[in-house]
A and B are shown apart, each in its own frame.
Chain A
Amino acid sequence: MIFPAEDVIVDSPRATPLYAAAASASEANIWTSVNGWSLARVFTSVEKEYHAAKNSAAIADLGALSRWAVRGPEAAQFLSRITTAPAPRLGVGESARGLILDGDGGVLDLAEVSRLSDDLFLLTTPTAHARRLQLGARGVDALGEDICEAVAAIGVFGPRASEVLSAAGMKMPGEDVAASAVVRGVETAARPIQFGALPGVELIFPAADALTIWERLVRRGKAGPIGLDAMEILRIESGAPRPGVDFVAADHPGTTTRRTPAEIGLPHLAPLDRGWYNGRRGLRYVATRPERRLVTLSVDDERSMPGAAVYAGGKPVGRITSCAWSPAIKRVVAFADVARPVGAKDYEIAVPAPGEGRVAAKLYETPESALAKAFREAQDAVGNAR
């Protein structure tokens, strides 16, 4: 699950249940706020945290995300109405990603749905959608409860994630299913998540026991904390667009940049043949003709920055929405929002340099863009077969 854009103005951000632990671990003491919650941007150094997550294991405070417990005989139908995730098809313990769309098929947010029992689901979204959930529950026998204040959540990422959990006393029954266990007397739920290409596990437990679990993971599991800045590099490398940064929610006040799933590079999360969901009828009219496209580019120049113009064939076609230096490929990886009809593979990025001030950029395949490509090819194959 991806964090939304950082808050522009928040007078006094709230403390997550893990704030005290994060504050004591933070050497850099650089903070920001997301959804009104305080989060550490850096604990020690961005590079160190990045490499820990890539090669070992890192733990992150995920308390700023919005979480809802959805109960009721029609909870699955409710979630498949609200999100594009195939909730009715999930077995107990399984999770699925999806999108939240408006009536015209514009993307509002990302979503992740986990089935905890037959009639209990967990819905996680980057931003809060209380009003939408309230409206969507009308006429459906399901009840949603906002559990953000009641629970704490820790993400454990990296190849050693399961080792860390084992050391802390929790064993996952399988790689793809959620589980629950008692860790030092605390009822804890764990569900597999992916942060881009990184495998991970999210632990959810009562807010009052937040520090107990954090300490357990740090001491027994030998996992270090990871801040938002290092996670941002991992996110861009994985090709996961960030709400509020790489695209603006379709219902954002004053927005004129409505984006469809295909336009933000996530068509595979809202297939038109997945059954009914809110916005599918509207999407049917616009899905086949995306006007924009969110692409990932690799740029051989460190001066690239968000907002920089992107050129193709000598003409401006878009702009960079977010970028980061990737230690893995030793280049800048950037998201760029470009005009769809161009369809170019080679781009140029404007940089603050003398002369033309442009550097070459190439399309860069991420795990997410590979999924989207495979989905499009499958759709084309089905279309051709018909």
Chain B
Amino acid sequence: MSDVQDKPGGGRIEGGIDAIVIGADAEGLTAAAYLGRAGYNTILLEAGVEIGGAVCARELSPGLSYVDGEHLISILDPAVIADLDLYRHGVSYAARCLDTAYFFEDGKTLQLGGDLQMAAAAFDDEEAGSAFQKFITDVFEAAAFCRPGFETAAPASDIEKAMRAAPRSLAARLNFFSLAPAQEVLDAYLPDGCLKTALLCEAGFRSAAAPHEPFSFMTLLRRWAGEIAGLQGACAYPQGGAVAVVTALRRAAQAAKVDIRAATGVASILIEQDHAAGVELEGGGQIRAPIIVAAGAARRVFMEMIGAANIDIGFQRAITAAQPQLASGHLHLSLKGVARDEKTRGHMNRRLVYAPPREALRRAFADARAGRVPDDLMIEAVFPDVLDEETGGDRMQLLSAIAHPLPFDENPNADRRAEIEKTILANIEKFAPDIEDRIKERALRLASDIAKSTSALAQDYAAPPSIIEQVALARVAGSAGYVSGLYFCGREARIGAGISCAAGRMAAKAALYEAKRGGRAA
């Protein structure tokens, strides 16, 4: 129980709290659940009215809802699932190991099984199959080795140490994979053809680093370091969509007796003698606690809640230096009619990816960086109500697509939105002809739209930079400006696109370790 006193000048001072978590997105919920489970009296504060951050269900047309923010999961931290017992709290997979169907400009298609290690066996071309098998074996080994580094930004000395301890051939490969452009790695392993184009597309998807640029292969390595239900590199569609993961995290936090307060914005973080001492609320009043975990964007947490005059210049520079240029766009379509026959539904029961040719991809990144909407976009689409039959409507079908790369626009006008929507639809038409005739409702969700609904900044939802840059930034941001008692698991502390929860887990673990060592908890 918390102690409440009147605060001079109005408001209340709430004490007797062990930890405060700011921001109720997946990472914030994870951190709060970990702290709560450790027996800490924890309060989770969310400025908006919705719990879950960007990931939430929105109605597109009566009876048909889409999940905003994310539609698949691929890098969800297995340790979080196990520690917080998320299966017991409602996480289950409607499609555990999604196959992917790639579509190409020349009309060819390629199907890759969800279990990538087994996928090579299905290749008709023996040469391509064996090349792919070697590629997957090498990359999966490297990805598994790198996994701890993706969960938390390990110090450079630890990474060097781990590299030295690795077998020589693996160390050389890691060096190649971490520095080289995706294009170069794929050229070294695979013969020209559809498979290479498909994987090139995967390497650039949802990243600000184009596949022909240095360090870009790490994007794929990061994705394939994740595992779903023990299957490395797999993609899954949870029962109820990605929002079900957030719901399960919320249940886990509630089960751990975390006090979740929505519509409670934090105005500032109180720092006394270099220690985090609590928060000042937007509506007046203070909550005092020796542990603060912040899951918001670094700019907001450090520049607004703490203030530029109280953080080190180098730290400020690191968290404010990046200016986003690229973003992904989400388009949700409600389509007239429902496919009933098993064959069609079988085709729709996959992750559908349109992979533009190599040159078009290079041009697309250049155009998007120059502020133009590219003609060719990478598209990842799913039919959620086919993957999860429980959510399907009787008369309409939902298609959720993510398009990349788009120019980052803080406040796009109607013309720009119309242009983006038209281009995404044109690219979807390449693998789903005449889809436009079936569209009943549509919802275009750009970074600025998602930011508005979560009271965040549009740049918080821009495409993340290369993995190397993310690791460097996470290392700085994770230090939380050396404010003792403050832990950070916001966007800048995360590595890779998608729901991960690893940053929240690591922030909570660090807080618990420090509290145990220093005994600073109330």
Residues on A lying within 8 angstroms of B by beta carbon are 74, 77-78, 80-82, 102-103, 132, 135-136, 138-140, 276, 278-282, 284
Contacts and interface: CB of A to CB of B under 8 A. Distances in A.
Given A281-B481, A281-B482, A284-B274, A139 B307 contact: yes
B308 A281 contact: no
Contact of A281 (B307, B313, B316, B483): B483
Nearest to A285: B482
Given A281-B482, A282-B482, A139 B316 contact: yes
B359 interface: no
Contacts of B312: 103, 278-279, 281-282
B274 A103 contact: no
Contacts of B316: 135, 138-139
A82 B312 CA distance: 9
B309 interface: yes
A93 B88 CA distance: 69
19 contacts: A78-B309, A80-B309, A81-B309, A82-B313, A103-B312, A103-B313, A103-B315, A132-B313, A139-B303, A139-B308, A276-B274, A276-B309, A276-B310, A278-B312, A280-B274, A281-B274, A281-B482, A281-B483, A284-B274
Interface residues of B, number: 16
B519 interface: no
Chain A binding surface SS class = helix
Interface in B361-397: none
Contact of A278 (B274, B307, B313): B313
B346 interface: no
Contacts of B307: 139
B518 interface: no
B130 interface: no
Nearest to A276: B310
Contacts of A278: 312-313
Q: Which residue among A77, A103, A138, A140 has the maximum number of chain B CB atoms within 10 Å of its CB?
A: A103
Interface of B: 274, 303, 307-310, 312-317, 320, 481-483
Nearest to A251: B314
B248 to A, nearest CB: 37
Given A77-B309, A284-B274, A102 B320 contact: no
Contacts of A140: 308-309
Contacts of B309: 74, 77-78, 80-81, 139-140, 276
Contacts of A80: 309
B314 A103 contact: yes
A276 B483 CA distance: 12
B313 A136 contact: yes
A80 B483 CA distance: 18
Contact of B308 (A102, A103, A138, A284): A138
A12 B302 CA distance: 45
A278 B316 CA distance: 11
Contacts of A132: 313
Nearest to A80: B309
Q: Which of A81, A139, A280 has the most CB of B within 10 A?
A: A139
Specify which of B303, B307, B309, B310 lies most central, judged by the most chain A CB atoms within 10 Å of its CB.
B309
Given A77-B309, A78-B309, A276-B274, 15 more contacts: A82-B313, A103-B312, A135-B313, A135-B316, A135-B317, A136-B313, A138-B308, A138-B316, A138-B320, A139-B307, A139-B309, A140-B309, A278-B313, A281-B274, A284-B274
A227 to B, nearest CB: 36
A94 B316 CA distance: 30
Q: 4 nearest interchain CB pairs? A: A139-B308, A281-B482, A103-B314, A103-B312
Nearest to B309: A77
Most B CB contacts (10 A, CB to CB) among A78, A135, A281 go to A281
Contacts of A276: 274, 309-310
A81 B317 CA distance: 14
A74 B481 CA distance: 22
Contacts of A82: 313
Contacts of B482: 281-282
A262 B186 CA distance: 54
Contacts of A279: 312
A129 to B, nearest CB: 10
B102 to A, nearest CB: 45
A278 B312 CA distance: 5
A371 B48 CA distance: 54
A78 B310 CA distance: 10
A279 B310 CA distance: 10
Nearest to B314: A103
Nearest to A273: B273
B145 to A, nearest CB: 30
A81 B274 contact: no
B277 to A, nearest CB: 14
A278 B309 CA distance: 9
B31 to A, nearest CB: 22
B305 to A, nearest CB: 12
A364 to B, nearest CB: 36
B459 to A, nearest CB: 16
Contacts of A281: 274, 312, 481-483
Nearest to A100: B313
Contacts of A78: 309
Contacts of B274: 276, 280-281, 284
Contacts of B483: 281
A273 to B, nearest CB: 9
Nearest to B273: A273
A3 B309 CA distance: 29
Contacts of B310: 276
A345 B272 CA distance: 40
B273 to A, nearest CB: 9
A82 B482 CA distance: 17
Nearest to A279: B312
Contacts of B320: 138
B43 to A, nearest CB: 26
A81 B312 CA distance: 8
B170 to A, nearest CB: 31
